[in-house]
Structure 1
Amino acid sequence: MTAATGVSLFVAVPAAVLGAACMGLASAAQARATKEVETGKPLDLTLFRRLVGRPLWLIGIAATVLGLVLQLVALAYGPLLLVQPLLVTSLMFAGFLSARLERRRPDRVMSFGGLLCVAGLAAFLVVARPSGNGDVLLTGSALLPLGIALAALTLIGLGFAAYSRSGSLRVLGLAVATGVLYGLTAGLMKVVAGQFRAGIDEPFKHWTLYIVCVVGPLGFLLSQNTFQQGRFLTPALAVITALDPLVGVAIGLSWMGESANGTPLALFGEALGGLVIVIGIAMLSTRASHLSVDQPGESAEHTEAERPGSDPDDGYGLAGSTC
């Protein structure tokens, strides 16, 4: 590793971890704030209007902005394949902070499920051995395969959110769409960060900045709807924080010329890391569903008050986390 690479990682890694901490705080605060307003329908476009002025939500906004700045710094100095997996640690920060906001102890099973998600992505990172630090998108038809796949996954998620009668599927759909849009935003922010390094006015000459200005807020709106529609924080946030870096990794490999270890043994290890993530998410969702059923008989110290408009079948929900 060269001296220049060492300096870049010295900046990128702390910035990514601190950014993840800010994002964790933002998720916990925003999830709590969405429960203080009337519950609307999935994909509610008026939710922002009801949230404006809520102190916790404003704290979440400030933490989001700081987290995005730190993420931008990390992406400016490190490859997507390094920065994006580190951002999944926001899941652990969010779980701990949500428990503090709710003044209860973390639930051990959900904490372990969250830890599995983080461990799976960490294993993926170690085995993949990311290299390259591209910040220029490929052009033309090279963008189409992944672009079509991401668009289809987003539309499927939104379809579940809009039309499913199952509360858990609605929240899962919102979480999937949010994770994809967050990962796409991160990938494009990597390009914007490189353009800023070339000149302060350079990003305004390219379409990527304007796409970020549309996709980023849309992802944020979906995340707020996800927070309100569900009940527990960790399960759906696990879906979002897993999809976000995985989409970022896909963008780095497909659109920016970054590379990863592609030997058969490495591919097996990377697939194993992905399996661990899936197991962690499944454990979280199962535990959340179990707690949702048992909740009416639990003590006030360990439960969230029932709120009007809540759906008992929302195992992927967010607020009131016991993680």
Structure 2
Amino acid sequence: MDTGTALVIAVPAAVLGAAGFGLASAAQQRATKEVAVTPTLSPRLIVELLARPMWLLGLVATVVALALQIVALAFGPLAVVQPVLVTGVAFAAVFSAILQGRHPDPLILLGALCCTAGLSAFLLLARPTVGPAHDQFDLLAALPLTVFLTVLVIGCLAYAAAVQHSSRVLALALATGVLYGVTAGLTKIITSQLRVGLDEPFRHPVLYVVCVIGPIGFLLSQNTFQQGQLVAPAVAVITSVDPVVGVLIGAGWLGEQIDSSPALLAGECLAALVLIGSIALITARGTWLLHHRLDAPQPALIPLSRAGRPIAG
């Protein structure tokens, strides 16, 4: 299949997958507020959420989105699919507002769109080129990045466990994004192995690693949604870190080459600043909205008679 035809399949699948992830994030974040707070990575949270219809809606959306992501990764490179999936942060902001019966906040939506634009520009400027083989990777060559990502996840979890500041939610989101990025990178390897034969993935450890890391990342995302007051900041961090880790995996594990010329590096730095600024805007605006709603005076309750008429007083 030629590149143009492959992208005709990959890009729409990635857009629909992003919409699915956005709906899933909004629905799951809403559902996690309806159950008791559980310790980080406690399976009890999933057990309690299984009784919540809103969470089940999010679960169905997640499954559909994952299937679409696999289709997109099977036909398109990480460098194309992952930037499109970043639009999930904008979808999440819109769906979250709809589920709460209100209009999306313009500044949060602007921040989500800028976040999408900044990260997409960063990844497109990096322009990774496909390596010689995507169906396997050199374990020894992958060791440095593996150690770095492992330390990063453990550090985020330790920070979240040690502090009570609101930044702990961003640490959980960062760890979730790393696990999602690793899962996406390994899924790319699995889709390449499927081209060899349907039984090929079962001959390699990658599939079994995904079966462990994937559920851990999903459970951690539910902790993140439950412990955060608003969905947009957490989703912005997760959807930003996910593709960046995917690109690092493409370069460090799959042999993809990243363009590092001075001009492009300058553009990548500018795009990164836009991305960071967008996340800061979403977080600051979300915090302001939360405090504004909490501080807003509540309407006074008017006593009613048995007939349902107000009692004069």
TM-score by length of 1: 0.88
The residue aligned with 1:78 is: 76
Structure 1 residues 59 and 266: alpha-carbon distance in aligned structure 2, compared to 1, 3 A threshold: same
The offset of 1:299, in angstroms, is: 6.7
The residue aligned with 1:109 is: 107
Provide the C-alpha distance between the structure 1 equivalents of 2:66 and 2:159, rounded to a whole number of angstroms. Answer: 28
Provide the C-alpha distance between the structure 2 equivalents of 1:199 and 1:226, rounded to a whole number of angstroms. Answer: 37
Measured against aligned partners, the alpha-carbon deviations of 1:44-69 in whole angstroms (never above 9, x if no partner) come to 33101110121111111111111111
One-letter code aligned to 2:137: L
CA contact (8 A) 1:117 1:280 kept: yes
Structure 1 residues 47 and 156: alpha-carbon distance in aligned structure 2, compared to 1, 3 A threshold: same
One-letter code aligned to 1:136: D
The residue aligned with 1:164 is: 163
The residue aligned with 2:172 is: 174
The offset of 1:297, in angstroms, is: 2.6
SS, match of residue 226 in structure 2: helix
The offset of 1:296, in angstroms, is: 1.8
The residue aligned with 2:241 is: 243
Provide the C-alpha distance between the structure 2 equivalents of 1:17 and 1:139, rounded to a whole number of angstroms. Answer: 32
Structure 1 runs of 4+ aligned residues shifted over 6 Å read none
Structure 1 residues 255 and 34: alpha-carbon distance in aligned structure 2, compared to 1, 3 A threshold: same
Provide the C-alpha distance between the structure 2 equivalents of 1:185 and 1:53, rounded to a whole number of angstroms. Answer: 27
Structure 1 residues 74 and 300: alpha-carbon distance in aligned structure 2, compared to 1, 3 A threshold: farther
Instruction: Report which of the two structures shows the higher radius of gyration computed on alpha carbons.
Output: 2
Given the alignment of the two structures, is residue 233 of structure 1 paired with residue 231 of structure 2, yes or no? yes
CA contact (8 A) 2:128 2:251 kept: no
Structure 1 residues 291 and 176: alpha-carbon distance in aligned structure 2, compared to 1, 3 A threshold: same
CA contact (8 A) 1:39 1:228 kept: yes
Alignment of 1:312-323 (within 5 A): none
Provide the C-alpha distance between the structure 1 equivalents of 2:298 and 2:226, rounded to a whole number of angstroms. Answer: 21
The offset of 1:283, in angstroms, is: 0.9
The residue aligned with 1:259 is: 257
Structure 1 residues 299 and 196: alpha-carbon distance in aligned structure 2, compared to 1, 3 A threshold: farther
Between 210-219 and 254-263, the greater mean CA deviation after superposition: 254-263
One-letter code aligned to 2:159: F
CA contact (8 A) 2:153 2:175 kept: yes
Provide the C-alpha distance between the structure 1 equivalents of 2:278 and 2:167, rounded to a whole number of angstroms. Answer: 18
The offset of 1:71, in angstroms, is: 0.6
The residue aligned with 1:146 is: 145
CA contact (8 A) 1:160 1:169 kept: no
Given the alignment of the two structures, is residue 88 of structure 1 paired with residue 60 of structure 2, yes or no? no
Higher relative contact order, structure no. (Cα contacts within 8 Å, ≥ 6 residues apart): 1
